[in-house]
Structure 1
Amino acid sequence: MMRMAVSVGRDQLGSVGVCFGKFTKSGKFTLHITALDHLAQYAQHKIWIKPNGEMPFLYGNHIVKAHLGRITDDTPEHTGAVIFSMSDAPLGFGVTARSTMDMKRLQPTDIIVFHQADVGEYLRAEDTLF
């Protein structure tokens, strides 16, 4: 990819490689969905959702307990997690609302993962993603 980028002028070239995110004006870093493939490989905390929960998540909704398929053991509260389908395809990432132990006692409609980004953003925010 870098060899192909050499043929483009520096003024026209935005970047070479994968865009992981952007820095905001206040100096904070926001992670983009383009980093999902790299995050999925090295994620410590993973959550698998059932097929009936995939579409609501891909439309930007939080994950409820009724859609939970599997979760890695000892996942703490308020930590980042990568969301997978039951066929191990990475769908996005979010922040856990409860720990693994707390999730066992929740009602089916209670939120367990707060949505942060999903692969549906490629279509919804196509012009602002890169």
Structure 2
Amino acid sequence: MRPLTEAETTALFGKLANYIGKNIVHLIDREEDPHVFRLHRDRVYYVSEANMRLAVSISRPNLMSLGVCFGKFSKTGKFRLHVTCLDYLAQYAKYKVWIKPNGELPFLYGNHVVKAHLGRITDDTPEHAGVVVLSMSGVALGFGVTARSTVDTRKLDPTSIIVFHQADVGEYLRDEDTLF
């Protein structure tokens, strides 16, 4: 477990900025309980400083995970967010998409969100922006990237893709071997 390098921090914050924008400050500047990002086995963890100091006494091969896994770095150096950070993304997200109950299950199986399943969308959402996908009752289901802006979605037919799927809570069951 080690601190992130400058390049790794830039990749992580670039990806997070796509979803939560300037709200990254709320993740880092927590005066009551400071948190840090740490790298362990190509995975980035978000952990409180107190727990990080306690984990130093555990040897690296014996440490499975620590805190919340925000994502992992690929062998080429690209960063990919995991569904395990969804609670933080949903809390601080700039743009949100609510889908109808008939669209929840297809999204949880890994499909994109089509216009027929769209319930609401945040105003002025640009094209290719990171969005958190919520059910109509406000439960976070996953996250993705918009295919069209809010203005363009009004003109599309019901089978057009609105949000490209990135991750959903169904991955806890589908990919449980590779999440941690």
CA distance in 1 between counterparts of 2:112 and 2:60 reads 41
Which residue does 2:153 correspond to in 1? Answer: 103
Greater percentage in helix: 2
Q: Is the deviation greater in 42-51 or in 13-22? A: 13-22
Instruction: Name the CA distance, whole Å, in 2 between partners of 1:46 and 1:129.
Output: 24
Segments ≥4 residues shifted beyond 3 Å: 3-10
Residues of 2 paired with 1:27 and 1:89: CA distance?
32
TM-score of the aligned structures, taking structure 1 as reference length: 0.94
CA displacement, residues 49-83 of structure 1 (integer Å, 9 cap, x when unaligned): 00000000000000000100011000000110000
- Match of 2:70? 20
* Aligned residue runs from structure 1 range 1-130, under 5 A: 2=51, 9-130=59-180
Write the distance in 2 (CA, Å) between the matches of 1:47 and 1:61: 15
Question: How far did residue 4 of structure 1 move?
Answer: 7.8
**Alignment-mate amino acid for residue 50 of structure 1:** K
> Matched residue pairs, number?
130
Aligned-residue CA RMSD (Å): 1.6
Instruction: Report the 3-state secondary structure (helix = DSSP H, G, I; strand = E; otherwise coil) of the residue aligned with 2:178.
Output: coil
Q: Which runs of 5+ in 2 are unaligned?
A: 1-49
CA drift of 1:14 comes to 2.7
C-alpha distance in structure 1 between counterparts of 2:54 and 2:138, whole Å: 32
